């Protein structure tokens, strides 16, 4: 298949949609990104790569970081993490306290904020400098020297993060955080503030298309674990719109409010698309549309 | 791959688990089924078929009927059904009133009871004798003369169905049922009481593995619709355990409290497994285990 | 105190408010009542009576019936009723299914619809013709031959009562109804359809101001029980606005969507006010205002 | 009435109940209080006073502080406080996040923790040193030099207060706190840690029995406001058990997890009872019983 031609078609077809969706205004550094940005990158398990648009521009990965947290926590702690986090879709918005209270401090899955806070706590138990470890892991996955997080984005989110602070305190109250609330939050906000490009993110996820193995990083996790991370992405990866994303796109995917979405075609490739304006469910408006066009054109939906 | 050998291995490996799980006691005709029953059937898109155990024994399909309701409603009414039903995992038990009230009478997805009641109402609007139409559709899918429903099971569930009656009245109150409550309920309970075997159910779902086309029934739905039904099955098909089922089995599947589970390997085959004792999420205990063994042995998980 | 003069002042002061509030449109016979109706009646424990406006006009008592159901159920069954109904304010609208599901079929208090359905079920267990018993009890309380219920109101509510039917089926599912759902509902709808005037209602409640004893009916309940019914009225008598009613009016009161409100000044008198347009909480708009004026002018608030 | 004799009777009758209930173990300084402590004090509007048992021993007033916060906030800010706090019973436990999230950051009433945090924020807006102001107000009410808060209790609660910290962050997220979260929490925890005796508390509430006027402090609030504070106490003062407290005791009351309960007989007297073991609703076990005995013996229930 001529993937470059398909990317060009998609790029062309999403142009009229620029201006749709909304850029979130509660994180000023994100609000400053021009709404006409659009980038897309593919990375094949055989090593080939394709891209279009602003695929080299770094953006704030936000909740896509949860995918790397999950993988890192599984590497450090194994399946024992499931004693502290569920694996079911949440049915409520990604930052709801209601469900956490109702289910007595066990987050429904690792991809809602409460789940990622528990992942952060788990990683903190296994390393003396968690953020260094986290960035090292991203460098391993991408073979890049340069993976960093934005101090500005971090600070803005730390200052405004009252709801995440509420979640973390509730987790602490239920005994599901071992470290100090502020320590967990700092690590969590730092992860969200990591800056990466579409090309880097497609590369970083390649192990999920390769049964756990990446041409760059070698064996990241085993086959079974790679499949299971994909399964969780499919059922829980796009907040309260996981059902709709599966229905429209038909691929495991993980989105962030920075406008990025990574997706996996198991055995074939990873994709990353980026455009900052979001739909009502908090996923990139153009990004979701671009992925839907991609699976329609290529018939690569897993279904 | 030698599927018959794999079925035999699975049959052997689940033997020690007989006696685990619980047979539901609130539907007497289901409670009377011996707990050591186990059947499994595969049907390949190329026409081949494999089976083991009690694969010819008919059982009550219960919620698997929702899969056929959804397909039939889509054939009769197209995507307009999504104005009255959502497509998101529910995050609460399959018969919860809470979510329906909170979301003002729009069921979260077609595979919870409230969603299936709306499907029943939609089908009732398109036909003068809905149950005949429903059974005809099942006969078309299976090429069988003999698809029937059990009057005993129907009557038992109709008599005891207070919670479904509560759901239907709440839907009516929100204006999301056009027909009389009792008419909708009768049709719904009749569907649940349909008796089919593993072989018949694997056959009936074959179009979902064949991009909408079945070697027996011809084109049932188009490619896109088949993929989308599979997507909904994956995110919503096993009640409140959809995430765990995706994680363990890695296939779109739909279960019923009668102990049956159908699953789809897109492009390859359909499966049906049956064993009456259920796990805590209401899915067949041995059935879930058998499917997990199947994808582990064959690596046919979609992830 | 010159109560007649106070009633005249109140009547005068509420005139400019006629036209405020909304007449409920979901019960056609109620919707047909002119919005400028206003009546008010006082009945003193010493036998004196005062009234103004349309105090002799009969209206549909609706939820005020729950007060008589509670009293009758306590007479028939004693404090054992509290095994099946709570005594706490509900914090949610009067016809919510959510709370009933969350609390496993035990209604929060006798004055929400679910609670009154359980009261109806209890009364049905003690009598062969419950509605005759109920009307006899009202005749005893009012010394009137003529207490009847409106067949038209009954039929309209029975036809449209999907939400009450949902509540009753959920109660049945939880095992908190012993009689058939339709039998309970018929009795419940009949009670709501009872037609009484302000004067009759003030009379009927007199025992609550008289430590359980009424000059007409004699000893209805004992002192302790009368006080406790008043307490429940204060905390639960006006749907989701009990706190606001206590704050503004400062008397135990019970309202109905027919526009009536009865209130009790313990040791002194009972009041009934009627005006059909309702405020957003479902209580009579002018009625609430009139009672607030009354306690402000007379300083008869219990607080 | 011979109130001293009645107190002695009550003291005698509660003796067999010593040992019932549970002392909360999550606040170590409270857990250290011997469970056989019992004190009770009455203060009449005419100046007379009665007491029994440990009525002079100071204990941690905990949530009784909310009563003084409400009064102080009303004095400083008037009825504008009702734009930020509701007046309805909560129907859920006193520290629930669910309701606060569902109702978008408006606490249901001033006597749940979230409501008291908003009161603290309001008081902080009107004074440069809020805790000094708060203690001055208590000294004014009690004519005592010595009202202080316990640094130990404060520190323990501040360290362990994850759930209150979660509530405060959620309020901040909804824009219903103007000051820094930690500033509000410090003031709130300081209030809870105030140490007072039964005699002091009975005195401090005297204005609520005296139509807003206390023989010691003079006019604290106006008549209408005093009645309304009593009304809120009755419907919301004892957490999730307000209905039951009204039913059993029949007086406006406010309890704290330190084991104290204050109650008001409008026009007649205030009461304070203290015993540290709590019932399942978080109110003093012996205290509730003692008040129930008191209104039964004296017939002073407001109903």
Q: CB distance C250–D242 less than 8 Å?
A: no
Inter-chain CB proximity B231 and A108 less than 8 Å: no
- pLDDT of C114-165, one tens digit each? 999 999 999 999 999 999 999 999 999 999 888 999 999 999 999 989 999 9
Per-residue pLDDT tens over the stretch A239-297: 888 899 999 999 999 999 999 999 999 999 999 999 999 999 899 999 999 999 999 99
Strand partners, C238: none
Could you give the CA distance from residue B195 to residue B185 in angstroms, rounded to a whole number?
18
Tell whether B109 is within 8 A of chain A (Cβ).
yes
Residue A154 is classified by DSSP as H
Instruction: Say if residue B36 is exposed, middle or buried (CB neighbours under 10 Å; 0-12, 13-18, 19+).
Output: middle
Query: Is there a catalytic annotation at residue D69?
Result: no
Query: Are D97 and A101 an interchain contact pair (Cβ–Cβ within 8 Å)?
Result: yes
Asked if the model's pLDDT at residue A146 lies above 90, the reply is no
- Beta-strand ranges (E) seen in chain A are 39-44, 49-53, 59-60, 148-149, 194-196, 213-214, 218-219, 253-255, 260-265, 269-274
Sign of CA dihedral C230, C232, C234, C236: negative
pLDDT at residue number A273: 98
Candidate from C235, C240, C241 with C-beta closest to D246: C235
Q: In this structure, are residues D290 and D10 in contact, taking their beta carbons and an 8 Å threshold? A: yes
Whether the per-residue pLDDT at C94 is higher than 60: the answer is: no
D303 contact C CB<8A:
yes
pLDDT in tens, D117-176: 999 999 999 999 999 999 999 999 999 888 999 999 999 999 989 999 999 999 999 999
- pLDDT given at position A240: 80
B188 is catalytic: yes
Please determine, for residue C219, whether its predicted confidence score (pLDDT) is greater than 80.
Answer: yes
Q: Does A282 touch chain B (CB under 8 A)?
A: no
The closest of C223, C299, C301 to C1, measured between CA atoms, is C299
| pLDDT recorded at residue C111 | 95
pLDDT at D276: 96
Q: Decide if B71 touches A, using CB distance below 8 A.
A: no
Contact indicator for D43, D269 with CB cutoff of 8 Å: yes
**Distance of alpha carbon C181 from alpha carbon D277, whole angstroms:** 44
pLDDT category of residue D30 using cuts at 50, 70 and 90: confident
Q: Is the pLDDT of residue B108 over 70?
A: yes
CA B221 to chain centre: 17
Residue-level pLDDT at C95: 66
Distance set, CA B108 to CA A53, A106, B86, B115, B289 (Å): 37, 23, 5, 7, 27
In B54-156, beta strands by DSSP E: 59-60, 148-149
Q: Does D209 touch chain C (CB under 8 A)?
A: no
Task: Report the predicted TM-score, pTM, of the whole model to 2 decimal places.
Answer: 0.92
Higher-scoring residue by pLDDT: D97, D182: D182
Q: Which of B239, B255, B265, B284 is the catalytic position?
A: B239
Confidence of residue D93 (pLDDT cuts 50, 70, 90): low
Residue from the list B96, B162, B165 with its beta carbon closest to the beta carbon of C101: B96
Q: Is the pLDDT of residue A237 over 90?
A: yes
Determine the distance in angstroms separating the CA of B249 from the nearest CA of chain A, rounded to an integer: 9
Look up B66 and say whether it is catalytic. Answer: yes
pLDDT of B93 reads 64
Interface test with D, best of C81, C211, C243, C245 (most D CBs within 10 A): C243
Task: Give me the pLDDT at residue C103, please.
Answer: 84
**C-alpha separations of A135 from A47, A155, A225, B19, D70 in Å:** 23, 18, 21, 49, 50
Please report the pLDDT score of residue A270 as a whole number: 98
Q: Verify whether the Cβ–Cβ distance D98 to A96 is below 8 Å.
A: no
Ranking A154-168, A219-233, B188-202, D84-98 by mean pLDDT, the lowest is D84-98
State chain C's mean pLDDT as an integer.
94
Residue B17: DSSP 8-state: G
Task: Name the band, by pLDDT with cuts 50, 70 and 90, for residue A94.
Answer: low
What percent of chain B has pLDDT above 90?
Answer: 85
Q: DSSP strand E in chain B: where?
A: 39-44, 49-53, 59-60, 148-149, 194-196, 213-214, 218-219, 253-255, 260-265, 269-274
Q: Tell me what pLDDT residue D97 has.
A: 82
| Residues C163, B181: C-beta atoms closer than 8 Å | no
Residue B201: name the closest of B21, B56, B95 by CA: B56
Using a 10 angstrom Cβ sphere, with 0-12 exposed, 13-18 middle and 19 or more buried, the burial of residue C35 is: middle
Residue D95 pLDDT > 80 = no
B290 touches chain C (CB under 8 A): no
State the average pLDDT over residues A147-174.
Answer: 94
pLDDT digits (tens, 9 = 90+) for C27-81: 888 888 999 999 999 999 999 999 999 999 999 999 999 999 999 999 999 999 9
* Residue B191 burial (10 A CB sphere; 0-12, 13-18, 19+): buried
**Is B90 an interface residue toward A (CB < 8 Å)?**
yes
Chain centre to alpha carbon of residue C44: 19
| CA distances in angstroms from A288 to A19, A93, A229, A242, A272, listed in the order given | 14, 18, 20, 12, 11
Percent of chain C with pLDDT over 90: 85
A and B: number of Cβ contacts within 8 A:
107
Residue A96 has pLDDT above 90, yes or no: no
Q: What is the mean pLDDT of residues C197-220?
A: 96
Chain B residues with CB-CB distance to C167 below 8 A: 166
Judged against a pLDDT cut of 60, whether residue D94 lies above it is answered with no
Q: Which residues of A touch D179 (CB under 8 A)?
A: none
Q: Is A188 a known active-site residue? A: yes
Query: Residue D22: pLDDT band by 50, 70, 90 thresholds?
Result: very high
Length of chain D in terms of residues written = 303
Q: Is C148 exposed, middle or buried (0-12, 13-18, 19+ CB in 10 A)?
A: middle
Confidence at residue A27, expressed as pLDDT on a 0 to 100 scale: 82
Q: Is C60 helix (H, G, I), strand (E, B) or coil?
A: strand
CB atoms D163 and A181 under 8 Å: no
């Amino acid at each position: 298949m001529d993937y470059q031609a398909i990317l060009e078609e998609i790029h062309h077809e999403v142009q009229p949609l620029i201006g749709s969706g909304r850029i979130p205004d509660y994180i000023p550094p994100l609000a400053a990104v021009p709404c006409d940005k659009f980038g897309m990158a593919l990375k094949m398990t055989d090593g080939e790569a394709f891209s279009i648009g602003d695929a080299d521009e770094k953006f704030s990965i936000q909740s896509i970081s949860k995918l790397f947290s999950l993988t890192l926590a599984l590497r450090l702690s194994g399946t024992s993490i499931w004693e502290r986090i569920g694996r079911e879709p949440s049915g409520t918005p990604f930052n709801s306290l209601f469900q956490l209270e109702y289910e007595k401090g066990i987050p429904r899955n690792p991809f809602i904020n409460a789940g990622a806070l528990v992942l952060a706590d788990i990683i903190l138990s296994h390393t003396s400098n968690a953020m260094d470890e986290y960035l090292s892991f991203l460098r391993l996955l991408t073979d890049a020297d340069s993976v960093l997080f934005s101090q500005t984005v971090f600070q803005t989110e730390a200052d405004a993060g009252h709801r995440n602070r509420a979640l973390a305190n509730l987790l602490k109250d239920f005994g599901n955080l071992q470290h100090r609330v502020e320590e967990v939050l700092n690590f969590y906000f730092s992860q969200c503030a990591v800056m990466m490009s579409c090309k880097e993110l497609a590369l970083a996820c390649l192990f999920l298309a390769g049964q756990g193995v990446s041409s760059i990083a070698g064996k990241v996790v085993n086959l079974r674990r790679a499949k299971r991370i994909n399964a969780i992405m499919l059922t829980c990866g796009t907040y309260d719109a996981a059902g709709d994303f599966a229905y429209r796109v038909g691929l495991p995917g993980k989105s962030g409010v920075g406008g990025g979405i990574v997706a996996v075609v198991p055995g074939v490739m990873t994709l990353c698309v980026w455009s900052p304006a979001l739909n009502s469910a908090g996923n990139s408006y153009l990004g979701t549309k671009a992925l839907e066009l991609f699976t329609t054109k290529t018939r690569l939906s897993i279904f």
